[in-house]
Structure formats: structure tokens, C-alpha cells
Amino acid sequence: MHLYSFDLRDPVFELGGWQLSFQVITLENLYGLDPAHTTLEPTDDGWRLACSRLSWAGQQQHAPGSLELVARRGEGDRLLLNIRATALHKIRAVKVLVRNLPALRPLDMLDHPRDLPEGGLIDAYPNPLRLPLFCGLLPDGTIIGARSEDPQARAKRFAVCRETFGPLAGTYTVECLHEEDARWFDTQIEVPLWVLDRGVDVAAFRGEQLAFNEAELGLAPWEQRRDVPRWARDIRLCLTIHQMHWSGYIFNTYAQALNIIRFVAERIDGRHVLAYLPGWEGRYYWQYGDYRPEPRLGGGDGFARLCEGARALGVHVMPMFGVNCANAWAPNFHTFGPSSYMKSATRNTFWGNQPDWDLKRTHDTGWQAWLHPGAPAWQTELTRQIRTLVERFGFDGVFLDCTEVWVNDPDFNMREGLRQLVARLRAGHPELLVAGEDWYDGLLDILPVFQQTATWRQVPEWVGRYARLIGHICDGDPSRNSTGVHEAGCSPYVRLPQTETYIPTLTFVDGTLEAAQPEIEAVIAQAAARS
């Protein structure tokens, strides 16, 4: 976390026990409010702040622009903030600074206090934060909270730092930032409602945010979702059957995958089983963007036999596809790729996680292009490939890799693009399940099933109100902790929690069926006992 090397001298305003400052961030500089051109007046239910000139460089310079704040009192210490701002240059973000706080400990997604790093902390929404909400524990046990009611689920950031300059040196500040959709950067901005509160009951505070999301973002409880096929509500067990690694190593051919499915279907009714196939298309990730059955795994005929054999047992097959990745060196890339690259708000090309697939220890994956699911050329091509395969092989589900990856792209909106893609995939196929890798609140209304590792990702209980979770592709198998096609290599095998939200999941690499039968039998029995 970077901080300036001087005092910004932002004016601090007292509003009902809160000490607040405000900043306007354009595409070319950071601005505060000029106190000589700012007034704060009481209203019937709060305050109105009006600033008619901005400042920059620690109040050394001034610039055209404005900020208007309407602050309303809520119950207790609650404050509701509506902000509008203008500037000479296009505005990227507006920041509310909650100031003069004692040392505080931010809460994580499971409501556990975290120690604040020496240099401060930044939490970004939508990833890794899953809600635009921050809570912090003060030394006296009081919890303060901030959340944004944004019907467009735009970017938010929360930062906590210790002040180093000026009269507030030694105290702590919580920064609450709203960033505009990069497609609509302009010289004026209207910030969605900020809610600040002190003495927060975290569950109730979060419940208010979820109620807003249900009303404005289209979130629906699992039982009421219309995008869950009838058969998917009967799934009690997921089989993650790894097929081909990036390097070309084969874990399971199509015939071996069908043998695994047959073994399981002898022990549990096949209609309760979902067979998830990572690396089915051949070299995992390398083949992304050019999907077809892999000759070394059994080719088109072998994949057809796998799908037909599973269907005969009642088992539902779900191959894996990259929603935003493709091999830029593939012969067909030029037809959909160059116009579809994901970009930051200032048009830096997004390069993603860059796994060390070939172990050269440089993480240089220049062939691995990250493409925007909202870009027309890529969306159309991916839709065409998946629908062609669905219609040819008749599988029941589609798994979309990396759905959680998010950028504030200036050309296309991530959430809108994913919604369009899913709608196109399901058009004419109402019984097609479309699942995704990871979630935030703005995806929970688009996809009903997500992956979840048993070992390291945090999942609050409330997610189960809207979605179901299967094991993550990075989970180890029960024979040797192998993660199959995933770049993690090995990860401890751990069963998912036994709750309604989690669908029991078994991971199979080569030899798992033979080496881990007692654990396989135990998990199948656990799944069969689910209601």
C-alpha cells in the first residue's frame, strides 16, 4: 500500500460523531476539497456539504471542480451519504475517508478480526472481496461498518492505514472508494449510497446488504432460481475426473473416465451424480479456445461413448471451458482474439495469473491470452464452440473456468458480458446447467453452482442461500493429494463440509480408483445419505 510523503491537508468535517474527508480521483491526478470554497450546513435530517473548487498537491494548487454531499442521519450513529462530483478531467473514483480512528482490526469474510499489516491493508471488490462491505473492530469492542448500495455492482475498494503526517498523525483512517464503470468515465459522477455505521451487528449489517442485492441485483434464493435445471436439484455427488495435463500427461482417457462413472453408479443412483471433466479437450489451458475431443484420450468416438455411457446410467456430464482464456498461438485466434483482450481501466492488457506450466520458473505465458467474455467476437466464438459440442454430444452441463476474474474494462462490462454468454448458451437448452469457478455477489444471480476448495478459501454460510458448491479443481485426490490438471501440483485431500450448501466431491487422477477405494466408498455413502 503506497502513501504520499507529505500531508495532503484535506479538510476534516464533523458529521454526527464521524470525522470525514473526501477526495476526487481523475485519470490524471488526485484532488481534495478547497476549504475556502466549501460550506457545511445542517438540514432537517442531517447535513449538506457544498464545495465549488478542488485542490491538489496538498492545497498548494487549486482547480475547477465541485463536490456535493447530502448526509442523512439513520438510527443510532448511522450515516447515509450521497455524493456528486465534477472535475476538469474525467473522474475515475471518489473516496470517503473515515478519519481519526483508534487502531482497528479489519474483519475477514468469516467475521474474524485480522491484524493490520504495518504498511496498511487494501481490500478490493469484487475480487477478493465478495460484497462491497467493510467491518472493523475497534479497541473497545465496537464494530464500525461501511457498505455500498450499488445496483450496478461496480468496483469498490477499502483501505486502512495509519496517518503519518499532520494533526491526525498516529490515528487511523478507513478509505472507502467507489470507482465508476470505465466505459462511462466522465467529468461528472454520481456515487451510489454509502452507509456508515458504528456499533454494528455484522450479521444484520450484511443482511441489509443482501436484502438490497435481492431487490436490485436479482439475487434469488436457491429454491426460487429459474436457471437450475430440474435434474441439477437432485445432484448429491460430484466426480472431478481429470483427463489431460498441460504437458500432455494423461490422467484418465475417456474410456477410463467411463469406468470410474460405472464404478460410482453401481453404488449410488446415477441421476444423483455430476461428472466434471477438466482437461477433456486435450492439453489443459493450451487447447483453450479450440475445443474438441482429444485424439489421445479417445477422439470424437471415445468422447461420444463417454457421454452416451454416462447418460445410460443417469449420470450428468459437465466438461470444462475457459470463459476468458485462449491460446494466442492457435491458428484460429486471429478471428476472435485481437479485439477481445481484457484491459484495465487505463487500457493495460490484463495478463492474469500466468501459471508456470512448463516449469521454466519465469511465469512467462505469452501464449495465454485473457479475453473478455463481453467482447462480441470472443463471446460469439465461445458460444458457437460450446453449443456445437452440446448439440453433438448431448452433455448436460458446462463449467466455465475463471468466472471470478474481473477488470474494469473500458470497452466491455464483465458482469454484463458473462450474463449475455450464459443466456446464449442456455437459449434453446433450458435444461443445461452452467456453473462457474468462483463467485461474488454480482455473479450469484448469473450462475447457480460454483467450485469451492476444502482447504483455503473462505465461504460464509450465507452463500448457501443462493448457490451450491462443488469441490475445487485445485483440491487433491484421496490417493496421493494430486491436483490433476491444476497448476498447484499437490494439495491435501480434505472432504468438503457436510452441509446442504456443499455437494460431496471426489477427485480422480490416474490410479485413484484403485488406491483410495475405502475413502471413495465412504464419500459415496455420505452422498447417498443426502436428502
> Rounded to a whole number, what is the largest CA-CA distance in the chain?
79
523 half-sphere exposure, CB direction, 13 A CA radius: 26
Residue 474 has a pLDDT of 95
Which parts of the chain sit beneath pLDDT 50? Answer: none
Nearest to 252 by CA among 292, 288, 302: 302
Distances from the Cα of 490 to the Cα of 253, 469, 478, 486, 514, angstroms: 21, 21, 11, 9, 19
Say if CB 120 and CB 157 are below 8 A apart: no
Please name the fold of domain 226-528: TIM Barrel (3.20.20)
Whether the model pTM is above 0.85: yes
Residue 529 has a pLDDT of 94
Residue 120 has a pLDDT of 96
The CA distance from 11 to 99, in Å, is: 11
Residue 450 has a pLDDT of 97
Torsion sign (Cα): 356, 361, 363, 364: negative
Please name the fold of domain 13-216: Beta-galactosidase; Chain A, domain 5 (2.70.98)
Q: Which residues contact 382 (CB under 8 A, 6 or more apart)?
A: 321, 323, 373, 421
Query: What are the boundaries of each domain within the chain?
Result: 13-216, 226-528
Distances from the Cα of 114 to the Cα of 101, 104, 138, 146, 283, angstroms: 17, 9, 12, 17, 40
389 half-sphere exposure, CB direction, 13 A CA radius: 26
Say if CB 24 and CB 31 are below 8 A apart: yes
Say if CB 405 and CB 369 are below 8 A apart: no
Q: Residue 280: how many CB atoms within 10 A of its CB? A: 30
pLDDT tens-digit readout, 111-134: 999 999 999 999 999 999 999 999
Instruction: Say yes or no: do domains 13-216 and 226-528 share a fold.
Output: no
Q: Residue 514: how many CB atoms within 10 A of its CB? A: 9
Q: Residue 505: how many CB atoms within 10 A of its CB? A: 24
